Structure 1
């Protein structure tokens, strides 16, 4: 019996000896030093990508800093701020990631994850990613002196005044980006044919506008487009210019007192604008010529100056036309994607020219007309149609002195302060209210008397 017990004890001792510390299985997946891996970039577009990494071990010391380094060159670090961007993304062990926007389009970048503890900083492996293509850039620095075509797929960059003295054809989908001094002027002999397509507009916009053709100026999200980022399209000559499905955005830098997206000179009245958008044109205190589309005294005849199916929003005053111009009522004055977004002074501004033997029709009902002076008309006729509203600024230099005026019973002649009819046309909210004697009145040349009635309001006479 005694010998049996000794044998058992010897067996137990042998088992204990065979299970020494060196024989315990190890978890080889848990390193005993600080370690981080770099995620493969994902969800890549032309301006953004999902980037991150994973701290798989803190090496026995708390990770106080982790994140990613991005560069255009291989193996970025946290120690080269002139060439590498460092983005911190928390502390501790574990995975981390985020989606980063404002990246330059069509660009290959390098990324490494990093982690820092008391012993120092370590990096994951270098990984590359390429953002999707923006548009190939064509810098326009000289005038158009020979027949030229700007082709689909490109972005044309203008940082100075470009004069067009020959035919420039702009294909559908072309993007034109303009810097602070950017301006296109059509002169005698010049012509622009810019026929976009539904769903494939031609866009004239700011160099800072990354929403079309990506980050053309290569500054990521450091800048965003603003009103007045470029000057204007100045039609100063030529004939039969065509603009269809074109967008004019962020124009209106100060051009000799004018803040416009498009300006028409006396020699540039032969044109067609159809299904175009005019938005985000700059305005400024003290400027009188703040119209997204400045036709002014020169835009007289709708048979020569064709303007149809266009849209205005987020401008100061949408359009300025001659008193002889019958503006098509199919234009609109709000953002189709956000109907509440209109224009600061949502109206049609009218230059006080009566013309000779001309019949002019005022049939727009979405916004009011504003007569910018005392219009005298001794020939022809003027028809203010159903629901149309004509307003007059304050003073005895604003009114009508006309023959053969047809004023519909549902139309109104009233003060620019009359917000109850045609909305807040002077853009001052409730700061002003209409009152008697606000404007001069309507003098009827047929009867040689001042006219009055239920639809002639707040006049002096």
Structure 2
């Protein structure tokens, strides 16, 4: 599937897309200028080459379950993301997201699952040379099976090396597990755990926080499970030493005390793995 500038695909009202490739024969969604896949479609030889934001995106909005298995999503993102799960549930496995752009702002990512429904599965995918690789909602689990660098060149990562997370205080959301360790979970708003709900962290998970953001545990500190597990850290968005360069600016700024608020449960917690908080 080759896409011209501003081209997009959208599925609503029960519509869905099933794209199942194999490791040897993936399904490819790419730019009209990409001669590597499907030949010289625009018939200009080497006069043009593909680049980020050559096409728009795929939007699953209020749709039925879409499936993407062994797919490649290349050179998209003109419009903020390359795949958007907007009120939809999907299974995205063994796929590659590479060379995708996005508009300014932390709310977008190459795979934008920030408004995806519970039951969404994102596993065994590879993200590299994107602006932001992935955003997720607090309604589904994320394991440690995704890769955030080029397997053929470990130094090629993403500009903003992190998973943007979106939390709300929806009392109906399920308790969730976060296990990704290669990059940090970057929290743009408060993690607010209502009574009876939990967030379980895997060992070596890093949570990063933007200014004025905090963790609120409404019942007790046990709502944040494995919070003191091996290698678990709570830190500033500017802390490149833990979980990579999540703010995408190299060494342009350093973390400092009061970069974010802290962890609150009837009082501000003073765990030794909380860094650069104001409380």
TM-score (norm 1): 0.57
Task: Tell me, yes or no, if the aligned pair for 2:50 and 2:75 is still in contact at 8 Å.
Answer: yes
Q: Report if the CA contact (8 A) 1:187-1:236 is conserved.
A: yes
Mean CA deviation greater in 205-214 or 410-419: 410-419
* Rounded Cα–Cα distance in structure 2 between residues aligned with 1:237 and 1:381: 27
Unaligned runs of 5+ in 2: none
**Residue in 1 aligned with 2:44?**
219
> For this pair of structures, how many residues does the alignment match?
271
Q: Which residue is 1:314 aligned to?
A: 129
**25, 32, 45: which one aligns with 1:200:** 25
SS in 2 for 1:291: coil
- Aligned partner of 1:344 among 120, 144, 159: 159
Structure 1 residue runs of 4+, over 6 Å off?
A: none
For residue 374 of structure 1, what is the aligned residue in structure 2?
190
Residue 189 of structure 1 is matched in structure 2 by 14
Q: Which structure has the highest strand share of the two? A: 1
Confirm or deny: 8 A CA contact 1:400 1:441 kept in the other structure.
yes
* Aligned with 1:384 (options 182, 196, 201): 201
- Match of residue 6 from structure 1: none
| Aligned counterparts of 1:374 and 1:280: Cα–Cα separation in 2 | 31
Secondary structure of 2:110's aligned partner: strand
Q: Residue 168 of structure 2 aligns with which residue?
A: 353
- Residues 340-378 of structure 1 deviation map (CA, whole Å, 9 limit, x = unaligned): 111011111100225436221121111111111122212
Is 1:282–1:290's contact at 8 Å kept on the other side of the alignment? no
CA distance in 2, matches of 1:327, 1:355: 19
Answer yes or no: is the 8 Å Cα contact 1:189–1:237 preserved in 2: yes
Tell me, yes or no, if the aligned pair for 2:181 and 2:205 is still in contact at 8 Å.
yes
Aligned to 1:228: 53
Q: Output the CA distance in 2 between the equivalents of 1:272 and 1:209.
A: 26
Alignment of 1:267-278 (within 5 A): 269-278=88-97
Contact 1:393 1:415 (C-alpha < 8 Å) held by counterparts = yes
CA distance in 1, matches of 2:27, 2:151: 18
Is there any run of 5+ residues in structure 1 with no aligned partner, and where? 1-175
Larger radius of gyration: 1
C-alpha distance in structure 1 between counterparts of 2:105 and 2:47, whole Å: 30
TM-score, normalising length: structure 2 = 0.93
